[in-house]
Structure 1
Amino acid sequence: MTVFLRNVRPWGEAASDVTLEDGVIASVKPVRADTAAADQAPTGAGVVEGNGRILLPSFSDVHVHLDSNRIGLPFRPHTGAPGVWGMMLNDRQNWRNAEASVADRATACLGAMIERGTTRVRTYVQVDVDAGLERFEGVLAAREAHRNRADVEVIAFPQAGLLREGGSAEVLEEALKLGADVVGGIDPCSLDRDPVKHLDIVFGLAEKYGVPVDIHLHEPDQLGLFSAQLILERTKALGMQGLVTISHGYGLADLPAGQLQELIDEFAALDISMATIAPAGQPLPLQQLAAARVRVGLGQDGQRDYWSPYGNADMLDRTWQLAFTSRFRADELIEHCVAVATVGGASVMNPQAPRLASVADRPGLNAGDPAELVLVEGDTVTAAVMDRLPGRTVLHSGQVVADGLELV
């Protein structure tokens, strides 16, 4: 089916009419003042009235935990203890008592994300000796419920580590046998205290099942650098260039300038991508990463779950947070945050997709690009980030899937 977007502003620029065919952008043409609006749409095309709204690539949430979210449920006091292990135990003590099942919560949250403009998702699912595959199966059900509205990759994630509890690696492998798209890892030094064995398991499973790797790295400063170097070694040894993501990387931003630039250059050489959630504290060096053409995406992490009361299913809101925590004020840099949240994340999920080449790069809206799109209100892209207005229309594979913050 052909879809015609009338009077939209790609990346906030001049008004254009955009034609979508077979799930891709077929043409982008300036609005012609001398032609009647009705005559510009291809015969038989479905018409979406842009009304001068800004056209952007749809959002890509590449770091979210759908299995733990409590979006839409009664707000509860935060009861987590400090640290990854303490937070994990708090989640373990409470998740089965939620007012709705994992499948229902994940389905509702994913729907809310789509309504707000996200059509590409990479979600972690906790698989361990406590949950087994229960949470994994719940998220698969959510993906199936929205199969025509979003592309969803599922990461089998050992939130409790792989070495602290017997049987952890076996549960992780079982999830891969059942179709997990990515294998996860976490803090190989500080959580499992045996980084070589932890990473051997993770990369061994990745090689065995032919899947990418995504590793949570909360470790600070030099410890984080050490773990990153071990990840680099395995990526190179196994020829997994383009198939490894480091998420968070909190401590890397605290490295001395020389060490940080050397590490970024190594990431670029092995095509290792990064995912951030725009945390408080020292931000990722987005400008340096873009200059090196390192793929970087954005995600919401947990959402009002047993780890944190934050999160609202809105990637435009998280884009504001990325700009704010990065201390950006210039329009070009705030727009770069939008690029990270949209096409940046798409390139994390698919290393063959266009990647950002600089902070001024604005790909994703040219003929031949996937018709994964969102229309937002605003005078400029920066204004859209600041105001985060509800007048949005979301398209997946060239079809409208949500409008006015409601699923179609």
Structure 2
Amino acid sequence: MTLVVDDVRLAHAPDRRVSVVCDGGRIVAIEAAGTVPDGGADTEHLDGRGALALPGLVDAHAHVDKTLYSGPWVPTPSLGTVSERIARERRERERFGLPREEYISALVERMVANGTTRIRTHTDVDPGVGLRGIETVARVAERYRDVVTIEQVAFPQGGLISNPGTLELLEQAVALGVPTIGGIDPAVVDRAPTVQLDALFDLAARTGCGIDIHLHEDGSLGAWEFEEIATRTIAYGMAGRVVISHAFGIAHPPTQERLIARLAEAGVALATAAVYDVPVPPLLALDAAGVPLACGSDGIRDLWGPFGDGDMLRRAMLVAYRNSVRTDEGLELALRAATTGGAGVLGVQDHGLDVGCVADLVLVDARNAAEAVASVPPRRVVVSRGRVVAMDGTLTAKV
């Protein structure tokens, strides 16, 4: 079935009304509005009524395996450190049956209804849970494969070196087809920073997988770890395949300029969630240096916290807000982090609103991309791979 999305304005060209022709899951033509003839029974026309078309939203950093979405309300105690939150999650996850397919499915449906067409999710792997999370998320990903692409990172939340057997589980996950492995705070969580980083890069070199490392450490320690990651990325020839998530250490002015230049040289990307009051990577400086920036939801209604709805347009707004940007240029950069830029960080180059791109687009009522980010309008229509999958905030596609 060919889908013609009539009378829309593209985010990068909002002054022109066009029709977007989708066939075989891709954008095959962009014509002046109203000029695409009716193709008969094999063509569906959707009246965009002058809406603004955004590229499909990309959540480049989620933890869907942890979610309690659609489940019970679980109060969150006041805990001060990442280590305390990890410990609490380890104690409580079995009590709530996590990871739970029902909750993950409900969350994925909400994310798609909000316009997300691609997700990278960090799935816990450790001797306690084994590969159960990987297998559970894989089943959900298969069920929803026609409406959203879900990519997993095998993530050693509780530590890689300090948790014997975890490294072997990461390798098993890669053998099952997981394309990326994770790490976390090599100095604070494992207290063996060079050992953790060497293990991750050695495994990636042997298997061809990517690396996405949670780095909450800041100050001089965080800056040193940035340098170590950049050095290994160059040494292993992994430019474009390494991401630092959260990246608190780059937010401090004394070392910021040097670290940004180092990441650009090494080809390391950043992913931010812009949650709570934590440091946020500098949007404008990263863009000026050519360092790719993605963003994501992080945890959504889980044992770490009560917030989140999987709305990546709202996340783009928060990235802009936390960066104190007020210009249209800054707002558009934040949207890029949640769309084409985020896709690029995940290694996807055919994401956008050009002929030849995958036909993922989101229709909203806004005059331009900057207004869409600033006002976070409802998603009127979501198209994934040339198929209407959600309308007015509700999943309509059968899965």
Residues 198-234 of structure 1 deviation map (CA, whole Å, 9 limit, x = unaligned): 0111111111221000000101121111111111111
Q: Give the corresponding residue for 1:277.
A: 273
Q: Give the corresponding residue for 1:340.
A: 337
Please tell me whether the aligned partners of residues 183 and 213 of structure 1 are also in contact (alpha carbons under 8 angstroms): yes
1:389 is aligned, of 369, 377, 380, to: 377
Please tell me whether the aligned partners of residues 300 and 311 of structure 1 are also in contact (alpha carbons under 8 angstroms): yes
Measured after TM superposition, the shift of residue 261 of structure 1 is 2.2
Measured after TM superposition, the shift of residue 80 of structure 1 is 5.7
Q: Which runs of 5+ in 2 are unaligned?
A: none
Q: Give the corresponding residue for 1:130.
A: 128
Q: Give the corresponding residue for 2:21.
A: 19
Amino acid paired to 1:145: R
Measured after TM superposition, the shift of residue 184 of structure 1 is 0.4
Measured after TM superposition, the shift of residue 347 of structure 1 is 0.2
1:321 is aligned, of 314, 318, 322, to: 318
1:155 is aligned, of 153, 156, 164, to: 153
Report the secondary structure of 1:222's partner residue: helix
Measured after TM superposition, the shift of residue 101 of structure 1 is 5.3
Q: Give the corresponding residue for 1:359.
A: none
1:296 has 2:284 as partner: no
Map 1:96-107; keep pairs closer than 5 Å.
96-98=94-96, 102-107=100-105
Measured after TM superposition, the shift of residue 246 of structure 1 is 0.6
* Cα distance between partner residues in 2 of 1:56 and 1:191: 39
Please tell me whether the aligned partners of residues 66 and 98 of structure 2 are also in contact (alpha carbons under 8 angstroms): no
* Cα distance between partner residues in 2 of 1:221 and 1:101: 34
Q: Give the corresponding residue for 2:232.
A: 234
Q: Which runs of 5+ in 1 are unaligned?
A: 355-363
Amino acid paired to 2:372: A
* Cα distance between partner residues in 1 of 2:168 and 2:253: 35
Q: Give the corresponding residue for 2:262.
A: 266
Residues 80-102 of structure 1 deviation map (CA, whole Å, 9 limit, x = unaligned): 63222211111112222227752
Please tell me whether the aligned partners of residues 251 and 280 of structure 2 are also in contact (alpha carbons under 8 angstroms): yes
Measured after TM superposition, the shift of residue 395 of structure 1 is 1.5
Q: Give the corresponding residue for 1:372.
A: 360
Measured after TM superposition, the shift of residue 343 of structure 1 is 0.5
1:310 is aligned, of 304, 307, 312, to: 307
Please tell me whether the aligned partners of residues 80 and 90 of structure 1 are also in contact (alpha carbons under 8 angstroms): no
Measured after TM superposition, the shift of residue 77 of structure 1 is 1.0
Residues 137-194 of structure 1 deviation map (CA, whole Å, 9 limit, x = unaligned): 1111111111111111100000011122222222222222222110101111121111
* Cα distance between partner residues in 2 of 1:386 and 1:252: 25
Per mean C-alpha deviation after superposition, the further-off stretch among 337-346 and 75-84 is 75-84
Amino acid paired to 2:316: T
Amino acid paired to 1:114: V
* Cα distance between partner residues in 2 of 1:107 and 1:179: 21
* Cα distance between partner residues in 1 of 2:350 and 2:256: 26
Please tell me whether the aligned partners of residues 3 and 23 of structure 2 are also in contact (alpha carbons under 8 angstroms): yes
Measured after TM superposition, the shift of residue 281 of structure 1 is 4.6
Residues 233-261 of structure 1 deviation map (CA, whole Å, 9 limit, x = unaligned): 111111111110011101211141xx322
- Are residues 372 and 263 of structure 1, via their aligned partners in 2, closer, same or farther at CA, if it must alter by over 3 Å? same
Report sequence identity in percent.
36
* Cα distance between partner residues in 2 of 1:101 and 1:274: 27
Per mean C-alpha deviation after superposition, the further-off stretch among 345-354 and 144-153 is 345-354
Please tell me whether the aligned partners of residues 158 and 168 of structure 1 are also in contact (alpha carbons under 8 angstroms): yes
Per mean C-alpha deviation after superposition, the further-off stretch among 170-179 and 317-326 is 170-179
Measured after TM superposition, the shift of residue 269 of structure 1 is 2.2
* Cα distance between partner residues in 2 of 1:169 and 1:211: 14
Q: Give the corresponding residue for 2:10.
A: 10
**How many pairs were matched up?**
392
Q: Give the corresponding residue for 2:170.
A: 172
* Cα distance between partner residues in 2 of 1:353 and 1:228: 29
Q: TM-score, normalised by structure 1?
A: 0.91
* Cα distance between partner residues in 1 of 2:267 and 2:38: 41
